[in-house]
Copies of this chain bind each other. A is one copy, B any other.
Amino acid sequence: MPETLWRASLVLALYRNRHVAQARYLQLATIRGDGRPANRTLVFRGFLGETDAITVVTDMRTAKVREVEATPWVEACWYFPMTREQFRLGGRARVVREDAGDEADRQARRDAWRALSDATRQSFTWPMPGAPRDPAVPFVAATPDPEAPPADFGLIVLEPVEVDHLELDGNPQNRWIFRRDADGRWTGREVNP
């Protein structure tokens, strides 16, 4: 079992499911301040450069930023409907905010902002997420500059240390578990589904 076969399998799943919009949606579980889990759908925005790390974008005003910064252990669950396979990606996450992180992180944040649609960029100018909706407050603002990510725009980078890959279409199903050790080396093995 090649050590990092999970990344090749994930790249392949992205390709095979490329015509299904929701194949780029994953569910990210975090820990709330009261110790309960939170779970929401996010859009995969690519790997961080050539690394194994997964990126998603976030409004800095949302609870997930506080949750990840207080408890960096997260698990993403990612289901691919065309190929009927699931990846569970557990690991540490970090939030890349304005004027923070190393140059690779800063560049990834700028690139992610540029790659968004105008409509998604506009959503970062909306009133406070989760606050009571006031019909008198307008939502539509001027189109933000694609070259200048605002302070409310953040990038979340997930560095997996354990990946559980399940193929439902086998009979029986096929499943592999990959783990990264403290030295960054991956090992994988096939397990019972």
Contact = CB atoms under 8 A, between A and B. Distances in A.
Interface of A: 21-22, 25, 27-31, 35-41, 71, 73-77, 79, 81, 86, 88, 90, 123, 126-133, 139-140, 172, 175, 177, 189-193
A128 B172 CA distance: 13
A37 B193 contact: no
Contacts of A81: 21-22, 81
Number of copies of this kind of chain in the complex = 2
Nearest to A22: B81
A73 B39 contact: no
A131 B37 contact: no
Given A27-B79, A36-B73, A39-B39, 5 more contacts: A30-B37, A36-B90, A123-B193, A130-B175, A130-B191
